Homo-oligomer: A and B are copies of this chain.
Amino acid sequence: MPRLVDHEVRRREITDATRRVIVAGGLDAVTFQTVAAEAELSVRLVQYYFGTKREFLLATHRSVIQDAGARFAQRMSGLPPGAGPREFIRAVLTELLPLDDRRRGEAIVLGAFNTAAIAGRGISAEETLAAPRALVTIVAEQLRRGGSPDSAEPNAELILAAVGGLAQGMLPGHYTAQSAVALVDHLLDLILGAPGN
């Protein structure tokens, strides 16, 4: 029986391998065999950590959300003390855009889970909707700080819908990183007023 610390490492190896399998071939490519091969572990070991395919799919989804959450926290702690709502929201949003390979992989995995939730293939919408709802709450809170309490909720929903569309549209190349970030800034100008106003 491996030590406790190894458990975490192993689970992480397996969920990371699952992400790579999804990026390469979609959710349908995920089996105990493909994930074990990608992780360079035995099928039996993968089954020891995750009894069912559904279990390691959900663990993979959680790992993406947790990674993004950890990056948000890091970005927040790196903001200057007097940072306003705009800098705060901008920091959150740019972590959601696939601006590097890691975030690109995450966007593909989240897109695949969204599709699976739609088709009802073992993944329910409830399991995938908690994170976007939490983000709406966070962004709305910042908008209230920014002084527009009445429309904070719809503005936050709009911001996250737009960023979702931009993130998915960046994947096949409809937006470049530069044009997506410029559009995020443009939307924040519309909602919060141009910077310096």
Binding site for B on A (CB under 8 A): 23-28, 108, 111-112, 114-115, 117-119, 125, 128-129, 132-133, 151, 154-155, 157-158, 160-166, 168-169, 171-175, 179, 182-183, 186-187, 190-191
Within 8 Å CB of A174, what residues of B?
A: 125, 129, 132-133
Report the 3 A-B pairs with minimum CB-CB distance, sorted nearest first.
Answer: A164-B165, A161-B165, A165-B165
Chain B residues positioned under 8 Å from A114 (CB to CB): 111, 168, 171-172
Closest to A163 in B: B165
Contacts of A191 in B (CB 8 A): 190
Residues in B whose Cβ lies below 8 Å from that of A132: 169, 174
Closest-by-CB residue of B relative to A160 is: B165
- By the criterion CB–CB under 8 Å, are A168 and B165 in contact? yes
Given A28-B28, A115-B115, are A186 and B158 also a contact pair (CB < 8 Å)? yes
**Residues in B neighbouring A27, C-beta threshold 8 A:** 26
Q: Does the CB pair B183–A125 fall under 8 Å? A: no
Q: How far is the CA of A187 from the CA of B128 in the complex (A)?
A: 25
User: For A129, what are the chain B residues with a Cβ–Cβ distance below 8 Å?
Assistant: 172-174
Tell me which residues across on chain B come within 8 A of A190, comparing CB atoms: 158, 190-191
Q: B residues within 8 A CB of A128?
A: 172
Q: With A26-B119, A115-B112 in contact, is A125–B172 under 8 Å at CB?
A: yes
What is the CA–CA distance of A111 and B113 in the complex, to the nearest angstrom? 12
Q: Are A115 and B165 in contact (CB under 8 A)?
A: no
Closest Cβ neighbor of A162 among chain B residues: B162
